[in-house]
Amino acid sequence: MKNILDMKEMVELIRTLTNMYAHGWDERNGGNVSMMLDEKTLKDYLDLGKVLRTIPTGFEAKELEGKYFLVTGTGKYFKNVQYAPEENLGIVRLVDGGKNAELLWGYEGGGKFTSEFPAHMMSHVARLGVDPENRIVMHCHPSNLLAMTYVHDLDEKSFTRTLWQMCTECIVVFPDGVNVLPWMLCGTNEIGEATAEKMKTARLVVWSQHGIYGAGKDLDETFGLIETAEKAAEIYMKIAHLPRVNTITDDEMHQLEKRFGIKGREGYLD
């Protein structure tokens, strides 16, 4: 067997989590990431017949039966992942219609997956229904997007248009826009279900007064989605109290659509 810590997906996730912490997106034990893995890849690194223990998930996701996920642990600090990945990360296989997760590696010392595991898995189901290439769900607390939910109305069209107007690249990077949820209690199936519903129409879902969820085909894409939206929110927070003399017009955004071969969310541009 190859060393699991040398697996490409493991190396990339550890680097990304370290970067997220350095960005200030994941204070203390805030934030969580899940990555769907291929069985054929795992076979070279793990004995898939050796189950360390079974962990109840508290939800049902028949669509993910037999799927494998590399997931951050509950109560774990991203700053520590690079030093002790086997304590802070785990690889699980969903069984019994998603009601249970078989631990195949990690969570040493009796740990388990993030408390937001239901929200992650429900979002995976939703995104796979839209794009079978989407394998990452990422949750974090970017300061400017969080601040923006206090001073900007939460209408999704308005919120998206404001972000698009802050940076030329925004409509190119997330033409599907940004969906927004009002404040909800975290760590519950209810917020997981609401997030999954929003994930059907956009890869970014803002949790008001909390943070953001992003989904994508790989870590670079998902991190980049959040990074771009956060940069736009930072610019907005710097100028929100000032009179706006210039902006990116809808006509100019249509030019961007044509130039980059993308299409902004239906009905969001004039």
pLDDT for position 91: 98
CA angle 175, 180, 182 (to 5 degrees): 175
Q: What is the C-alpha separation between 81 and 17, in angstroms, rounded?
A: 7
> In this predicted structure, what is the pLDDT of residue 1?
87
Closest C-alpha among 40, 26, 7 to residue 72: 26
| 224/44 Cα distance (integer angstroms) | 30
pLDDT tier at 182, thresholds 50, 70, 90: very high
Confidence grade of residue 86 (pLDDT, cut at 50, 70, 90)? very high
Mean residue pLDDT of the chain comes to: 96
β-bridge mates for residue 179, sequence order:
205
pLDDT band at 197 (very low <50, low <70, confident <90, very high): very high
Q: Comparing C-alpha atoms, which of 22, 94, 25, 27 is closest to residue 63?
A: 94
Question: In which band, very low, low, confident or very high, does the pLDDT at 250 lie, cut at 50, 70 and 90?
Answer: very high
Order of strands across the sheet with 32-37?
Answer: 53-56, 100-106, 89-95, 68-72, 32-37, 136-140, 211-216, 204-207, 179-181
pLDDT at 187 (0 to 100): 87
What number of other Cβ atoms are within 10 A of residue 183's Cβ?
12
From 9, 116, 221, 227, the catalytic residue: 116
Domain boundaries, the chain: 1-115, 117-262
The residues facing 101 across adjacent strands are 55, 94
The question of whether 116 is a catalytic residue gets the answer yes
Q: How confident is the model at residue 99 (pLDDT cuts 50, 70, 90)?
A: very high
The mean per-residue pLDDT over the stretch 82-103 comes to: 97
* Pairwise CA distance, residues 97 & 63, whole Å: 8
At 18-61, the pLDDT tens digits run 999 999 999 999 999 999 999 999 999 999 999 999 999 989 99
- Fold agreement (1-115, 117-262): yes
- Residue 192 near residue 122 (C-beta atoms within 8 A): yes
Class of domain 117-262: alpha beta
Domain 1-115 is found in CATH 3.40.50.620: no
Pair 37, 91: CB distance under 8 Å: yes
Token readout for 156 is: 């999704």
Which neighbouring-strand residues pair with 53?
Answer: 103
Contact 243, 196 (CB under 8 A): no
